[in-house]
A and B are shown apart, each in its own frame.
Chain A
């Protein structure tokens, strides 16, 4: 038993002697102390010291068997050494140069073991005296060691019996209780005095003795057979199910030691651990997100059923496969989980695509975190991802809904704009039809006149001339002035001069009206189809302008619109989505003016500006409307936040715009002063952002 030895001092077979004498350089002659001790041979080792301090240090550091102290080193040092070693140190033999009774008496009083004079037989006497002192010192020390050892064992025994979290009971040969420890008393509520000499059956609950197997363990132990520990379970009325580890050991004189360790707490903890494990397992197995655990080599060590479902593998099919195999279109070092492994970076809600076992590509939102144990040793990484297919679809629906809502706001204005030209074109056509009826009458009269003129000419052509005074000619020539008068009458009656000039005007006005309708329809058409799947290089000035035109039809003339377009590089984007953002901002600007400057009869102004700023393109929409209250300013990009009346705003406009701009890797900023107006600024990168930074925001 290792720890039984630990506190006891070592007895070295070598003899260690410390000699304290004057320094070699001093004028004092050598007494021959070291020389005489050399006779003790190899068994003795000598430490020669020159002052009290180093002697005390040595004795405190190492076991020394004897100190030979030459009194010549001085009274102070002599006293110091004696004082230091008096209590528990090795014996000290003081050597004096001559016989000095008084000095001898003084050093004995100070605790010296012996005092000898360095006289003629010094060299012979010293080794004998030294050995005798060492023998006595060692004997005393061993006696002390044994006593300490017994005290230590008693103490240890007492500590174990009192502190061990197990109930101990000693039984005599008849099965009566000799003694119990405090834990036994605590568990069964009896003191050692109460149970003394009573049979165990009257002390322990009967079901523990019988069904718990305590009796069986005891009887086997009594026969001296080895018994494997048993677990006894009993129902305790107050505390429910209790469990004990039961062991027994035969002691001397037919006595038995019974050890009952209460496992109830341990079992409870084990159950809690088990429950917790089940709980976690339940969550991980049933959660709607996929979970992957990869080791430092990038191999998958755990995948939950959702991960298997998304990746379309059989149960356990993901285990041990390198995680980058599932991202075949991404260079291995750029796979997010690889980056978590190599760079220790975390990702949250990053968007990427993963490839199913069957080869299909699934858009996912993924979060990765490094995984380490309690000591911080890295174990790998854990990744959680969701299938975004449905979310992407919903997102498209929200976009479309928002677009429809915006169009709904526009519809009334646009319908009004179309209805006016339709109204006058229709009226003009009706009128022109009436004009034609009137002009037909003029035509008829003209036809009559032409006929009269031809009648007059006919005989001349047939007969080769005509005679003046011919009665028929006279009669026929009279028709011309009549027809002429009739024509004049009709022309005057229908106001033909007016008709001719107004007909042209009506045609021109109607053409202008139809042109207006054509423009409106053309602009509207821009909003009726969806974007392509890929980004296309687009002219943002053109996007902004066509959007401004369609909104303009709604705004009519109460607002002035200024445009300052700078030449811009093509931007790779989804143009329909950006048009939706621009429309939203312009419609908001217009509504802010209607509620502010417009309502108070002031002149509303919207200024559209585009400019290049380094790698960015800026689109600015500025109005002098009501402005946004500071408390609302923080929330304008929140979904469903609106300050507009019910039915006017969906509360999705700016949040949708914000998302669209973010998806383009851009930012949208707002500055507003209540009562002064608002400026929205959309900043978009010219280059296509790589998908990482796009989702990192």
Chain B
């Protein structure tokens, strides 16, 4: 956590709103300012409009995948910590993880404590 002052800003991206609301519950007590986006387009708009410390994105989404989204984040907002939450973490190539600077892969369904500690480590 970034000491005093304004709380860290976390952006959750998933096309499934129920996932966003469940993640919100998981992170309720973590002291973040939580933003959510149901599409990559919306997420990029948010990133362009205000500072964000960390993105946690789903991989399989219609239109653009999580990795393609992170490609853009890495290029345009390199300071933003990048995490992926996916049902098929083994399908993400190690080379991609390294190249895109992905800090953590969180499996879906997730363990609350795992999510919380992963986010704590990278904010």
Contact = CB atoms under 8 A, between A and B. Distances in A.
B55 to A, nearest CB: 18
A430 B63 CA distance: 31
Given A506-B25, A558-B62, A424 B87 contact: no
A430 B108 contact: no
A557 B26 CA distance: 27
A427 B87 contact: no
A288 interface: no
The majority secondary structure among interface residues of chain A is helix
Given A506-B25, A558-B63, A419 B18 contact: no
Contacts of B25: 427-428, 431, 502, 506
Nearest to A505: B21
Interface in A463-516: 502, 505-506, 509, 512-513
Interface string B60-84: 1011000000000000000000000
Contacts of A430: 26, 112
B26 A421 contact: no
B62 A422 contact: no
A508 to B, nearest CB: 10
A452 B119 CA distance: 44
Interface in A541-565: 556-558
Contacts, number: 58
B62 A557 contact: yes
A424 B112 contact: no
Interface in A589-630: 601
- Residue from the set A424, A428, A512 with the largest chain B CB neighbour count within 10 Å: A424
B16 interface: yes
A438 to B, nearest CB: 10
Contact of A420 (B26, B62, B63, B108): B108
A254 interface: no
Interface string A553-597: 000111000000000000000000000000000000000000000
Interface string A646-680: 00000000000000000000000000000000000
Contacts of A557: 15, 62
B16 A427 contact: no
Contact of B18 (A416, A431, A512, A601): A512
B63 A423 contact: no
- Residue from the set A416, A421, A512, A558 with the largest chain B CB neighbour count within 10 Å: A416
Contacts of A420: 16, 18-19, 87, 108
Nearest to A435: B25
Nearest to A420: B16
A497 B105 CA distance: 34
Contact of A416 (B21, B26, B60): B60
Interface in B35-72: 60, 62-63
B117 to A, nearest CB: 14
B62 A424 contact: no
A669 B63 CA distance: 32
A603 to B, nearest CB: 12
B34 interface: no
B22 interface: yes
A415 interface: yes
B22 A424 contact: yes
A423 B109 contact: yes
A444 to B, nearest CB: 20
A427 B112 contact: yes
Interface in B84-101: 87
Contact of B109 (A426, A556, A601): A426
- Residue from the set B26, B62, B87, B109 with the largest chain A CB neighbour count within 10 Å: B109
Contact of B19 (A415, A424, A502): A424
A528 to B, nearest CB: 22
A513 B16 CA distance: 11
A601 B39 CA distance: 14
Contacts of B16: 420, 424
A602 to B, nearest CB: 12
A423 B19 contact: yes
B23 interface: yes
Nearest to B14: A420
A339 to B, nearest CB: 59
Contact of A427 (B15, B26, B62, B63): B26
Given A416-B60, A431-B26, A558-B63, A509 B18 contact: yes
- Residue from the set B15, B22, B110 with the largest chain A CB neighbour count within 10 Å: B22
A431 B25 CA distance: 7
Contacts of B108: 419-420, 423
Nearest to B113: A430
A431 to B, nearest CB: 4
Contacts of A502: 25
A424 B21 contact: yes
Contacts of A428: 22, 25
20 contacts: A416-B87, A419-B87, A420-B18, A420-B87, A421-B18, A423-B22, A423-B110, A424-B19, A424-B22, A425-B109, A426-B110, A427-B23, A427-B109, A427-B112, A431-B112, A506-B25, A509-B22, A557-B15, A558-B62, A601-B63
The 6 closest A-B pairs by CB, nearest first: A424-B22, A427-B22, A419-B87, A426-B109, A423-B109, A431-B25
Interface of A: 415-416, 419-428, 430-431, 502, 505-506, 509, 512-513, 556-558, 601
Given A428-B22, A509-B21, 12 more contacts: A419-B87, A420-B16, A420-B87, A421-B18, A424-B16, A424-B19, A425-B109, A427-B110, A431-B112, A512-B18, A556-B62, A557-B62
